[in-house]
A = this chain, B = another copy of it.
Amino acid sequence: MDMNTDLNQHISQQFNNELEELRNHLLAMGGAVEKQVSDAIESLIQADSDLALSVRAKDDDVNFMEVSIDEEAARILARRQPAASDLRLVIACTKASTDLERIGDEAAKIARFSMELAEHGEAPRGYIEARHIGNHVRRMVQDALNAFARFDADMALAVAQEDKAVDREYRSAMRELVTYMMEDPRAISRVLNIMWVLRSMERIGDHARNIAEYVIYLVKGTDVRHIGLKRMKKEVFDTGFPES
C-alpha cells in the first residue's frame, strides 16, 4: 500500500467518522425531543407544574442542538463535498433537525397549557383523548428516529401511514370538545386549553411524518413529500436501488 492510498484511506475514514457523528448528533437531539414530548404529556396528565416548567426550560438546549447540527452539516458540505447517499444523509439531517426543533416547540407549548390547567383549574374533559393522541404521536417520533438510525424505509412508511390515524383521532376529539363547550359554557377557556394541547400533538404527528419522509429520501433516493401514501408505498417497495 503506497503512501497515497494510505492518505486517501485516512481521509475517507475521517469523512465517514464525520458523517457518523452528524447522524449521532441528530439522534441525540431526537432523544432529547422525544423526552420533551413524553414529559409534556406526563405533566398534563399528572397536573405536574414542575415537570412542565422543566420541559419549557429545556427548549433552549434543543434549539442549540438544531443550530449546531446545521453548522456541522454546512461544514461537511463545504469541506468534504459529499455526493450521492452521503449528500442525502447530510441534507436529511439538516431537514430533520428543523422538524425536531419544531416538535420541541410544540412540547413546550403543551407544557405551557399543562401549567395553565394545573394552576387555574382542570378541564372537565379531553384528558383521555390527550393521553391517547399524545402517546400515539410520541411513538411516531420514536419510530421515525428508529427508522433514521437503522436506515429503515419500511418503518418510515409505517410512520407516515400512522399520521392519517392521528388526524382522524384529532378531529373526532375536537368535535366532542366543541359539543361539550356548548353544553357547559363556563368551561370554555379550560376546554380551549385542552384543544390547544391536542392541536400541538397533531402538529407533532405531522413533523414525525416529515422526518419519516426524509428517511425514505435518504434510503431510496426519492423525495416522497406530497405524493400521497399510495405512491409513497410504491417507492418504498420498489425493488430498484438508488445511486448509492
A interface residue numbers (CB < 8 A to B) = 60, 63-64, 66-67, 70-71, 74, 77-78, 81, 83-84, 87-88, 91, 94-95, 98, 178, 181-182, 185-186, 188-189, 192, 199, 223, 225-226
Residues of chain B within 8 A (CB-CB) of A185 are: 181-182, 185, 188
Q: Which chain B residue lies CB-closest to A192? A: B178
Closest residue of chain B to A224 (Cβ to Cβ) is B67
Assess the B78–A84 pair: CB atoms within 8 A: yes
Q: Which residue of B lies closest to A62 (CB)?
A: B226
Inter-subunit contact A70/B223 (CB<8 Å): yes
For A223, the chain B residues whose CB sits under 8 A away are 67, 70-71
**This protein's copies in its complex:** 2
Report Cα–Cα, A87/B178, bound state, in Å: 49
Q: Which residues of B contact A64 (CB under 8 A)?
A: 226
How far is A102 from B91 in the complex, measured between Cα atoms in Å?
19
Known contacts A67-B225, A78-B84, A185-B185, then 13 further A-B pairs from the complex at CB < 8 Å, ordered by chain A residue: A66-B226, A67-B223, A77-B87, A81-B81, A91-B94, A95-B98, A98-B98, A181-B181, A181-B185, A181-B188, A182-B186, A182-B189, A199-B199
Taking the nearest CB of chain B, how far is it from the CB of A25, in angstroms?
15
Bound CA–CA A88/B95 (angstroms): 15
* 5 closest cross-chain pairs (CB), A and B: A185-B185, A63-B226, A81-B81, A67-B223, A78-B83
The chain B residue sitting closest to A68, CB to CB, is B223
A189 and B179 alpha carbons, distance in the complex (Å): 9
How far in angstroms is the closest Cβ of chain B from A112? Answer: 12
What B residues does A67 contact at CB under 8 A? 223, 225-226
